[in-house]
Chains A and B, each alone.
Chain A
Amino acid sequence: MGLQSVDTARPSRTLIGAFAFLLATSLSRLVCAEDVTVPPSLQAALLAKVAGYDRNLPRRAGDQVLTLIVTRKDGDSERVAGQLEEGLRALSTIAGIPSKVERLAFVSAGELAMTCRRRRASIVYVTPSFRDDARAIATALRGTDVLTVGAVPSYVTDGTVLSFDLESGHPKILVHVGRAGEQNVSFDPNLFRVAKVVDR
């Protein structure tokens, strides 16, 4: 009984070189892209439905729900913005009200708050790469009548009213009730049958 010896290995220097290169690349880039766990297209559909639970939306929006997608010069931010924009445009209405979507290049939290008030934005969607600005955005928008939504789950604890995460492969809604109150967002209690409150 036995087994033959076969060696078909090509020189492994190439492989080891590839390893070394990739390892060096990896270790030299200990940056942190923020995880968007729920695909933006699904976030768009969820956002449109959840916004319908905001009892102040019709008054705030008037005859048009304006959604501002806040972006910055960053690959993740721009890609998620594009995917969310595509998803929202496909819906055409939110809570039965015609929907309009615009991108807004982020300058500062204060500028964002001013733009929201001036443009009567109903929804502000914060794309990835705003981890360091989330609290400032929350502070600036305090008292502003707007529903803020974070692309990244942790944004809801840092600065938005709403975000989405995955739990066991299914999306879940995260709501910051205190911040909702500060931004005149009044959710129908039925939403809390399916949403998770993060500040309680």
Chain B
Amino acid sequence: MTDRSETVPPRYLKRPGAKEYEIDEDVMIHIPDSGGIVKLNGSARQIWELCAKPATAEEICAQLGRQYNAAEEVFREDVDQALAEFVKNGLISRTDDRAVL
């Protein structure tokens, strides 16, 4: 039997219930469950927006690549770092995190 988590890359989705407040170029995000408030700007905000529908890191990189007409690999490190940080702050859920989704 194959462990599915080893073969299927996780998808990331904005935390259900997260409230967003746009202000200038930034977005303030409030996670009611935890009470956390985070401000995102620049590329972090873009990555967050791309989690509006469940997306893998690869899909996010591909979208950024199309947007900036650049190789998707260019974005991989930043995307992985941002997603890890978002998960840590409770801003997004991983689809393999069954307790959340």
Chain B associates with chain A: no
